[in-house]
Amino acid sequence: MTPSGARERVAGTVVSTVSDERTLLPDAPITSVDQYLESGGGISLGKALSLPRAEITEVVAEAGLRGRGGAGFPAAAKWRGLMRDQDGVKYLCCNAAEGEPATFKDRLLMRTNSYRLIEGLAIGAYAAGAKAAYIVTKKKFQREIDSLERALLEMRELGLAGGVPIELVLGPDHYLLGEEKGLLEVIEGNDPLPRHVPPYIQGLFATPEASNPAAINNVETLFNVPGIIEWGPDWFRSVGTETSPGTMLFTVTGDVERPGMYELPLGTPLSHLLFELAGGPLPGRSLKAVLPGASNAVIVPALFDVPLDFDSMSAIGTGLGAGGFAVYDDTACSVKIAEVFTRFLHVESCGQCPPCKLHSADILEALTRIEAGAADGGDLEEIFIRCSMVTDGQRCGLPDGVVNLVPSLIASFRDEFESHLNGGGCSFARKIDLPKIADRDGTGFIYDWHQALKQPNWTFAG
Ligand SMILES: Cc1cc2nc3c(=O)[nH]c(=O)nc-3n(C[C@H](O)[C@H](O)[C@H](O)COP(=O)(O)O)c2cc1C
Ligand code: SF4
């Protein structure tokens, strides 16, 4: 069932509440370059190539486009950073790794219109003065790879892929492939083990003489670029908020009537997404907690009216992340939720920074003991102590997830955690698994429930 005013665009629950010329989602997947051109695609690259580089970056800056990959960093600032050294070698990379639990937006976008991603990347690569551009995705995303390869081939043949060479790089199924420094390592042919140095200092194929800076933009970020170039900053800013303009594609998984993909103007209240669009809780149940991915603090019902934009989410102590939400109702145990997300973060930690691997192991052990009723108040306190150390010496933001998520769950559900202690154990019968989306078909999401248990096979002995 589709809520009034919204349209279903692809089989299963994919709903866009924005107008035809705004939406990132075509009515049906675009499967040929002719179809793309007929739908109005391809115009923006031509326009961009006729403009001075700096002007393109200014237009994107004026539009206020912020990164849709997790941190909401201004896209134009990254391109400007590359332009600082006018004559040096630099690279632009598209992050198509999509490894966040409860998220599927980038894969949906690549499945439905890879042409637009390539046009956005070609514009960005030209604006940033890049020597080459890369799209990094996972070897196992076969449908997305097919779509990207076809689009690249057809657009190159018609001269629609711009003047900067674009290469597709296939990486392993690790969460760290999506971490930007891990992603650069994979382009260089290594495991996704994050380096210390940020991409704007050490980019790709750097030497002691040349740092070759790189910038990394998420798929959805680049998807927004052609529209901004074609219709201008005011058009882009006509929906969304002052500091988070535009739309965002949200993924809703878990205990709602209509899990699915929803494209909304930024600033729409979370409650609208949860109750009006995703249909609210199942009959007889009530919603208890919403997790915006694995890296942000939990949102409890008292805060469900928070506007979905970068600053409002940060003001309530959480984050928008990649716009993916794992929703839990009153049958879900908060200790089990904490345990399963911590297990994922611990397993995916590469161990280059010992505090990240070792303290997340201790936190996980403590949570497992609490869940089993074998812990006392000391274990709960131990979790807070470990959380204060898990990020020591970190090379990347992965352990921030533990620090943001676990204490927030304990603070929000303290009574529930305490009732597990000293032999209390868990009174919730339900098993909780990590909502890692493996695929999506006409009926909905297909989950890989065991993802959080798979230990990546690092060549580094972490
Ligand atoms: C552990 C970890 C995993 C990440 N995974 C992804 C991912 O799968 N896709 C993504 O776009 N960004 C991911 N990020 C964020 C990227 O490092 C980077 O900030 C982002 O791609 C920048 O793009 P944006 O500015 O367009 O948002 C991840 C970050 C961390 C710390
Ligand atoms: S912070 Fe953790 S995941 Fe990131 S590089 Fe260090 S050990 Fe690896």
Question: Is 12 inside any structural domain?
Answer: no
Distances (CA, A) of 359 to 142, 320, 339, 387: 36, 26, 14, 7
Q: Considering every ligand atom, which ligand is closest to the CA of 175? A: 1
**Neighbouring C-alpha atoms within 13 Å toward the C-beta of 401:** 31
Domain match, 218 and 315 both: no
Are residues 440 and 406 both part of a single domain?
Answer: yes
Domain end: 296, 329, 362, which one?
329
Distances in whole angstroms, Cα of residue 441 to Cα of each of 325, 369, 453: 19, 38, 24
Mean pLDDT of 97-119: 97
CATH assignment at residue 124: 3.40.50.11540
Per DSSP bridges, beta strands 247-254 and 260-265 are antiparallel
Lowest mean pLDDT among 11-20, 166-175, 229-238, 333-342: 11-20
Judged by its nearest atom, the ligand closest to the C-alpha of residue 216 is 1
**Do 39 and 128 lie in a common domain?**
yes
- Residue 447 β-bridge partners: 437
Q: How many CB atoms lie within 10 A of CB 152?
A: 19
How many Å separate Cα 270 from the centre of its chain? 17
For the packed helices 142-157 and 105-127, what is the interaxial angle rounded to 10 degrees? 30
What is the tens place of the pLDDT at every residue in 392-406?
Answer: 989 999 999 999 999
Same domain, 230 and 367: no
DSSP string of 41-63, one letter each residue: TTHHHHHHHTS-HHHHHHHHHHH
In the reported structure, the alpha carbon of residue 322 is separated from the centroid of ligand 1 by a whole-number distance in angstroms of: 8
Residue 4 lies in a domain: no
Q: Percent of the chain scored above 90 by pLDDT? A: 86
Q: Is residue 193 part of a domain?
A: yes
> 210 or 441, which is more confident?
210
Q: Residue 164 pLDDT > 90, yes or no? A: yes
Q: What is the CATH number of the domain that holds 365?
A: 1.20.1440.230
Distance 219 CA to ligand 1 centre (A): 10
429 occurs within a structural domain: yes
More confident: 18 or 142: 142
Q: Is 426 helix (H, G, I), strand (E, B) or coil?
A: coil
Same domain, 230 and 252: no
Cβ < 6 Å from ligand 2: which residues?
A: 176, 194, 349-353, 356-357, 394-396, 398-399
363 and 292 share a domain? no
Confidence (pLDDT) at 459: 54
User: Does 258 share its domain with 355?
Assistant: no
Average pLDDT over residues 87-105: 96
Report how far apart, in Å, the C-alpha atoms of 47 and of each of 53, 128, 162 are. Answer: 11, 16, 11
Dihedral through CA 171, CA 174, CA 177, CA 182, nearest 10? -110
pLDDT at 461: 39
Which residue's CA is the closest to the ligand 1 atom numbered 24?
Answer: 67
Min mean pLDDT across 68-77, 80-89, 149-158, 224-233 is at: 80-89
Looking at the domain assignment, is residue 265 inside a domain? Answer: yes
In a domain, 13, yes or no: no
* Residue 151 falls inside a structural domain: yes
Residue 397 CA: nearest ligand 1 atom is 31
Residue 265 CA, ligand 2 centroid: distance in Å? 34
Q: Are residues 191 and 154 in the same domain?
A: yes
Name the closest ligand to CA 396: 2
Residue 61 in domain = yes
Neighbouring CB atoms inside 10 A of 361's CB total 18
Question: Mean pLDDT of all residues in the chain?
Answer: 93
Give the span between the Cα atoms of 370 and 413, in whole angstroms: 13
The model's confidence at residue 85, banded by pLDDT at 50, 70 and 90, is confident
Enter the DSSP assignment of 256.
S
Q: What is the DSSP letter of 454?
A: P
* Domain membership of residue 40 as a residue range: 22-237
- CATH number of the domain that residue 318 is part of: 3.10.20.600
| Whether 359 and 281 share a structural domain | no
Does one domain contain both 122 and 159? yes
Written as one string, the DSSP assignment of 128-182 is TT-SEEEEEEETT-HHHHHHHHHHHHHHHHTT-S-SS-EEEEEE-S-GGGGSHHH
Domain check: are 323 and 343 in the same one?
A: no
104-113, 336-345, 439-448: the lowest-pLDDT one: 439-448
- Crossing angle (nearest 10°) for helices 334-348 and 400-412: 170
User: What is the number of structural domains in the chain?
Assistant: 3
DSSP sequence for 189-241: TS-----SS-TTTS-SS--SS----EEEEEHHHHHTHHHHHHH-HHHHHTSB-
Q: Whose CA is nearest to atom 8 of ligand 2?
A: 350
Percent of the chain whose predicted confidence (pLDDT) is above 70: 94
Residues 305 and 362 grouped into a single domain? no
Tell me, in angstroms, the distance from the centre of ligand 1 to residue 321's CA.
9
pLDDT at 352 over 80: yes
pLDDT higher than threshold 80 for residue 6: no
What's the pLDDT at 2?
Answer: 41
Q: How far is CA 257 from the centre of its chain?
A: 23
Return the pLDDT at 14: 78
The minimum-distance atom of ligand 1 relative to the CA of 78 is 25
Domain final position from 311, 329, 347: 329
Rounded to whole angstroms, the Cα distance separating 407 from 403 reads 7
Quick check: CB of 175 below 6 Å from ligand 1?
yes
Looking at ligand 1, which residue's alpha carbon is closest to its atom 10? 69
Which one of 329, 361, 381 terminates a domain?
A: 329
